[in-house]
């Protein structure tokens, strides 16, 4: 029986029915839908709408449907339901007869779908947080295994200053930490109960919404029934936070794509996450990372789509909002697999520390250290900067590194430079000089690694 047939005399156009149906994708909400329905049945019983034995039968039916959905892979295949809500109702009626029709008392699909979505999403956020943690763990293990590896740090894609590879990796650890914070924050706003709001005006029955919230693990209720059924800001916010995760993953992907080229050759990706070319036999392509980079665009698209769907929608519920599901589901799936694949990439990458160190030693990455040396000798930084600029130009002309210039050559630039300058120019001193909190000195990086490990162990 249709959920809304009574007022209609004409048939629904077949193509429109397919267009209108969300069951092909919202069937994914079935467990959340049943969980919410069981609580709703209890609330109805508490106000006397359902007798105790009716509640019991409805509950049994819901449990049976839940079990079938979990254990029979093709249970929901080929069903022509309008959506998951009508499917569950039809199944219930098939089980227990007309009693099943009582469950929709004091409820609308509008508060129902908002409730389902929030139950579903908060659990998905919890899973996503675990996937982020696993990626953080891979970053930390890779950092741990390469504690003394030095790479050139870049700005503007030009070699800038040497940094420890673990320091570089922990930069991503920090980004992911903030991502977790954003997801946890968003979860707090997701975890409010819409059920009991009816279609928009509130339930026609005095349901105990606080009890419903508690029973369903919500932190509280949505305070306004119109708002509860009509907003999807929690979906937009989640996809926004997920988009930022993808920004971070795509940047790491891009770095590693570059670092794995013959031009850089700092790392080699494992065969397990690379592909070959159908034409060029020598190729080993970083498809795993390229796809992660590409999938970021897909998630941003879902974010833009949800903003556009919601913009200018009159209150309260509108069917436009059915569009939220595919955007949300695909975001969850895409971010999850991206996190997992990236963790596999990191877990199997080979680091060519010798090559990376060599790159960090060529290209005047210690020029700033020379300027800092002069500052310690009393020269104003701006003048030191200018002087070192001239030294670098001179050295480029001579095709020498800074540490290859002679004491005489240095003296011709400044009396302030003496033989101990070579200590400052060494790669190791360049690193250890960056000892302020958050810097790349080996001590600071070791501490940062310990902090990260502790944090992950406590999470």
Catalytic site positions: 156, 277
What is the Cα–Cα distance from 81 to 68, expressed in whole angstroms?
17
Residues making contact with ligand ARG (CB under 6 A): 22, 26, 83, 109-110, 113, 317, 319, 321-322
Q: Is 196 left (phi over 0), alpha (psi -120 to 50) or beta?
A: left
* 344 φ/ψ angles, rounded to the nearest 5 degrees: -65, -40
Closer to ligand ARG by CB, 214 or 323: give it. 323
CA distance 212 to 332: 27
Our CB check for ligand ARG shows the closer of 20 and 412 to be 20
Residue 383 CA: distances (Å) to CA of 93, 282, 387, 389: 85, 51, 6, 10
Please list the residues that pair with 292 across neighbouring strands: none
| Minimum CB distance to ligand ARG, residue 235 (Å) | 11
Minimal distance, residue 352 CB to ligand ARG, in Å: 51
**Other residues' Cβ atoms within 10 Å of the Cβ of residue 12:** 13
CB of 52 to ligand ARG, least distance (A): 30
The minimum distance between CB 113 and ligand ARG, in angstroms, equals 4
DSSP β-ladder status, 350-351 and 267-268: antiparallel
Nearer to ligand ARG, 168 or 329 (CB): 329
User: How many helices and strands (H and E) does the chain possess?
Assistant: 19, 6
- The nearest distance, CB 239 to ligand ARG, in angstroms, is 16
Whichever of 152 and 198 has its CB closer to ligand ARG, that residue is 198
Q: Is 253 exposed, middle or buried (CB count within 10 Å of its CB: 0-12, 13-18, 19+)?
A: buried
167 or 232, CB closer to ligand ARG? 232
DSSP secondary structure string, 268-298?
E--GGG-B--SS-TT--B-HHHHHHHHHHHH
For the bound state, the minimum distance from the C-beta of residue 322 to ligand ARG, rounded and expressed in Å, comes to: 4
- Residue among 21 and 344 whose Cβ is closer to ligand ARG: 21
Q: What are the two backbone dihedrals, phi and then psi, of residue 433, each rounded to the nearest 5 degrees?
A: -65, -20
- Report whether 403 contacts 411 (CB < 8 A): no
């Amino acid at each position: 029986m249709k959920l809304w047939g009574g007022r209609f005399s004409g048939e629904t156009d077949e193509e429109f029915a397919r267009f209108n149906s969300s069951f092909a994708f919202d069937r994914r909400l079935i467990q959340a839908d049943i969980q919410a329905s069981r609580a709703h049945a209890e609330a109805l019983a508490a106000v006397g709408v359902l007798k105790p034995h009716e509640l019991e039968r409805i509950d049994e039916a819901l449990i049976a449907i839940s079990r079938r959905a979990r254990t029979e892979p093709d249970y929901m295949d080929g069903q022509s339901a309008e959506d998951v809500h009508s499917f569950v109702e039809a199944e219930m009626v098939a089980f227990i007869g007309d009693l099943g029709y009582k469950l929709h008392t004091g409820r609308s699909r509008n508060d129902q779908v908002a409730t389902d979505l929030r139950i579903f999403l908060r659990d998905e956020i919890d899973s996503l947080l675990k996937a982020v943690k696993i990626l953080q763990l891979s970053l930390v293990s890779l950092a741990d295994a390469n504690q003394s590896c030095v790479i050139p740090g870049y700005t503007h894609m030009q070699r800038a200053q040497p940094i420890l590879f673990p320091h570089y990796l922990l930069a991503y650890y920090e980004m992911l930490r903030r991502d977790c914070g954003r997801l946890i924050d968003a979860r707090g706003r997701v975890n409010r109960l819409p059920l009991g709001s009816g279609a928009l005006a509130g339930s026609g029955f005095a349901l105990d919404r606080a009890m419903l919230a508690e029973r369903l693990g919500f932190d509280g209720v949505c305070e306004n029934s119109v708002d509860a059924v009509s907003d999807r800001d929690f979906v937009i916010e989640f996809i926004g936070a997920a988009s930022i995760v993808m920004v971070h993953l795509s940047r790491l992907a891009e770095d590693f794509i570059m670092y794995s080229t013959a031009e850089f050759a700092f790392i080699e990706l494992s065969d397990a996450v690379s592909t070959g070319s159908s034409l060029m036999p020598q190729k080993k392509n970083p498809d795993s990372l390229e796809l992660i980079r590409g999938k970021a665009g897909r998630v941003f698209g879902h974010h833009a789509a949800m903003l556009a769907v919601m913009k200018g929608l009159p209150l309260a519920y509108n069917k436009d909002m059915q569009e939220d599901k595919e955007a949300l589901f695909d975001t969850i799936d895409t971010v999850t697999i991206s996190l997992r694949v990236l963790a596999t990439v990191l877990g199997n990458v080979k680091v060519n520390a010798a090559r990376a160190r060599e790159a960090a030693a060529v290209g005047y990455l210690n020029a700033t250290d020379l300027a800092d040396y002069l500052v310690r000798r009393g020269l104003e930084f701006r003048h030191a900067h200018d002087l070192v600029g001239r030294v670098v130009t001179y050295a480029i002309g001579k095709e020498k590194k800074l540490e290859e210039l002679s004491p005489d050559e240095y003296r011709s630039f400044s009396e302030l430079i003496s033989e101990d300058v070579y200590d400052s120019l060494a790669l190791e001193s360049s690193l250890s000089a960056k000892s302020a909190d958050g810097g790349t000195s080996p001590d600071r990086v070791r501490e940062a690694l310990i902090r990260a490990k502790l944090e992950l162990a406590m999470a």
